[in-house]
Structure 1
Amino acid sequence: MGSGDDGATTQLMKIAKVDLRGLQSNTMAWAEARAAVTASMAAHGYVVVVHDALDAELRRALFGRALPELYALPFDTKKSSGAFSNGPHRGYDGQVPSEVLESVAILNPVEPGNVRDFTGRLWPQGNPGFCDTIVSFAKNVLELAQTVERMTLEGLGVHEESIAWQLFSQSHTARMMLYGTPPDKETSNISLGAHPDDQMTTVIAQHEVGGLEVQVDGGRWLAVPPEPGTLIVIGGDQLTVNSR
């Protein structure tokens, strides 16, 4: 996965969107969606899905209030609060010379207590709106991620016992990223360099700004533009291992 713009290698490719809203397992609609999800994941390593995990109200709460509040905090507050462990893509990343971004992770964000503990170290007076938004988003996205993982593994012929164990045994992280503008756009306009994801899947909710690219077979980079009502699910190294 990467974010960049190299006209010689980057292509804008139309990837079919798979509508996962309101599906019930063991139905014809589920089977058709499963086939489309599996085909896209096998061919490209990712799938674009239509889903209401991030509806208009939750999107406004997340991108319009919660994340701006988080990133408006002073750097020293974020770094010294104890809420983060500074280091590459673990807890808090900020002011990293090789990257123009800030990145914040919350472990197991579907548990309200974890999010409250995280929030209390940043806002000692509390911030219930932030907590509610993050927990709601995390629960919705977890449901989506597990649906795509189940569909992909089923479509590849993995036994139900193995699928159930895999979904049950996972831990989850919500990572919120704020991309900046590279200081020298004449030499590079990449905010975050190319990198693999080591987990089962990564669900990406883009916020109206393009730049996401995914590398597919043959080394081509495909641009994945943001579209309202869609999320991108990218297969990671663990999915490759578990689907062999």
Structure 2
Amino acid sequence: MASLLQPKLPVINMDDLKPGTESWISTCNKVTRALEEYGCFMAVYESVSKELKKDFFDSLETLFKLPVETKMKNTSDKPFHGYMGPIPIRPLYQSMGIDQATSFDDVEHFANLMWPSGNQHFSKTIHSYASLVSELENMVRRMVFQSYVVEKHYESFNDSMTYHLKVMKYSAAKPDETNLGAATHTDKSFITILGQNQVNGLEVLIGDDKWATVEFHPLSFVVLATDPFMAWSNGRVKSPRHRVIMNGQEDRYSAVLFSYKKGIIQIPEELVDQEHPSKFKPFDHYKFLDFFSKDEIYLDEKAIKLFCGV
């Protein structure tokens, strides 16, 4: 008889961890197992306080209330990095992007586009949030490198990482609208760290046929592996399919910190042997993003297999 229990993501406490300690090593194993089995997990991470989280999502509400012509000033030469407004097949969704969000100067530049007279509170809030969340991304990545015994590659890899903060609004669906906020897809960054306000909507495919509706714990984030991360791991890490379904009458605000590697991603030689032949050729991360942007037919991991699969 099939289980009627709702599948859930693993929950891992990521607070107060120091490299080399027993708790660090234990958490390394939990993180890597979760990314291999589920491709994601719920990270309890209280470094982002309740006060900062509230200020951050209040700031997003203020941001998305700006006129469309103002939001359209958010442009980028990188695919998917600028403003994206509602379209007929995606009427509930709009997003804006802040490149290099861990740099205060870059966040302030974005704020000055939106508010020509400046908005220091917005700049400080967004920068503080992005900086703390980037520390979580860095910790997750380091743990996986350590678990796979490829830590000698970590520093050079880390030096080439960049961070992009995408902030999103999903409007509550009207009676005559679809409640699909975002279609089923896998991510194209290296690691995705997702936070939201109190309105749920994220669903992750567990296995081949079970959708898990993600119930966020207080002060938590969902960590998602991606297609490039899967390729780097030679297929060990799973890139989970996920979507957003809007139910209820409240708007959902969420933010994802995407990490990208400048230059070439390749499988560490330690992860290739007779039992694990290479599944992916070395590839340029941003060239892959450009390849995907030109033809989004394959929203899932098929895109990277077409791009650099062996």
TM-score of Structure 1 vs Structure 2, range by shorter chain = 0.7 to 0.9
Partners in 2 of 1:184 and 1:18 — Cα distance? 38
In the alignment, which of 107, 111, 115 is matched to residue 99 of structure 2? 107
Residue 168 (structure 1) aligned with residue 159 (structure 2): yes
| TM-score (norm: length of structure 2) | 0.69
In the alignment, which of 64, 70, 75 is matched to residue 71 of structure 1? 64
Q: Secondary structure at the match of 2:181?
A: coil
Partners in 2 of 1:12 and 1:134 — Cα distance? 34
Residue 95 (structure 1) aligned with residue 86 (structure 2): yes
Aligned to 1:49: 43
Aligned to 2:132: 140
Q: Secondary structure at the match of 2:162?
A: coil
Q: Secondary structure at the match of 2:19?
A: coil
Q: Which amino acid aligns with 2:20?
A: N
Aligned to 1:177: 168
Q: Secondary structure at the match of 2:101?
A: coil
- Cα offsets for 1:10-55 (capped at 9, x unmatched): 9732333111111110010001111111111111000111112421
Aligned to 1:235: 225
Higher relative contact order (CA 8 A, sep 6+): 1
Q: Which amino acid aligns with 1:176?
A: V
- How many residues in Structure 1 have an aligned counterpart in Structure 2? 230
Q: Which amino acid aligns with 1:78?
A: K
Partners in 2 of 1:180 and 1:119 — Cα distance? 23
Q: Which amino acid aligns with 1:217?
A: G
Partners in 2 of 1:237 and 1:16 — Cα distance? 20
Partners in 1 of 2:151 and 2:19 — Cα distance? 13
Residue 190 (structure 1) aligned with residue 180 (structure 2): yes
Partners in 1 of 2:6 and 2:221 — Cα distance? 17
Residue 151 (structure 1) aligned with residue 143 (structure 2): yes
In the alignment, which of 112, 116, 125 is matched to residue 120 of structure 1? 112
| TM-score (norm: length of structure 1) | 0.87
- Compared with structure 1, are the counterparts of its residues 25 and 74 closer, same or farther at alpha carbon in structure 2 (3 Å cutoff)? same
- Cα offsets for 1:195-214 (capped at 9, x unmatched): 11111111011211111011
Name the one with the larger helix percent.
Answer: 1
CA RMSD of aligned residues (A): 2.1
